[in-house]
Each structure stands twice: as C-alpha cells, then as structure tokens.
Amino acid sequence: MKRHNYKNLKIWQIGIEIVDEVFKITDAFPKEEKFGLISQISRCSVSILSNIAEGSSRTEKSFYHFIDISLGSSFELETQLIIAFKRKYNTRAINNT
C-alpha cells in the first residue's frame, strides 16, 4: 500500500501558506465575529490541511476521498471569504474564476 508523506505534497505546502494568510486576514475582522465567521473560516482552512494529512496514511482510494473532502472545505473557505469581503471585513477580493 502506497503512503504519501503529506509534508512533501505540494498541495499541503500551499495549504500551510493559505492557513497562515487566513489567520492574518481574520486578525483584522471585528471582534464580534470571533465565534462566528472567524471561527468558521479558521476551522475550514485547517480542515483542508488536516484531511490531506489524515488521508495520506490511508489507501490510495481513501486518500482520494480525503482530497475530495479537502476540496469541499476549500470551496467553503472561498465562500466565507467572499462573505467577509462583502461585509467589508477583508479588503482583498477573491478571484471568482
């Protein structure tokens, strides 16, 4: 059974950068969003990486399933960042292409 070293996966390395950027962005959000949008954004950005890491220890078929879950979390993250932009919590637009 093939196992992946998740730390060597480019997608995981990019995910680390995304999480770091997300935490910088949410630092500027209003404090009343601490248990709302900030929490949601933080959790789903971390979930992307966590699912890649967890899936890397599974079978190839199972790994693809975890990658698929990570993709769903990335869509969730994008949606939440669009909401934050529309609420003017974040001044950087999300590329919608």
Residue 59's region, left for phi above 0, alpha for psi from -120 to 50, else beta, is beta
The per-residue pLDDT for 2 is: 67
Q: Does domain 7-86 have CATH number 1.10.1270.20?
A: no
> Tell me, what's the pLDDT at 93?
60
Give the pLDDT score at 92. 67
pLDDT digits (tens, 9 = 90+) for 20-73: 999 999 999 999 999 999 999 999 999 999 999 999 999 889 999 999 999 999
For residue 4, report the phi and psi dihedrals to the nearest 5 degrees. -105, 140
With residue 13 as reference, give the H or E element that holds it: helix 10-26
Phi, psi of 77 (to 5 degrees): -60, -45
**Per-residue pLDDT at 76:** 97
Confidence of residue 90 (pLDDT cuts 50, 70, 90): confident
Spell out the residues 6+ positions from residue 14 whose beta carbon is closer than 8 angstroms to its own. none
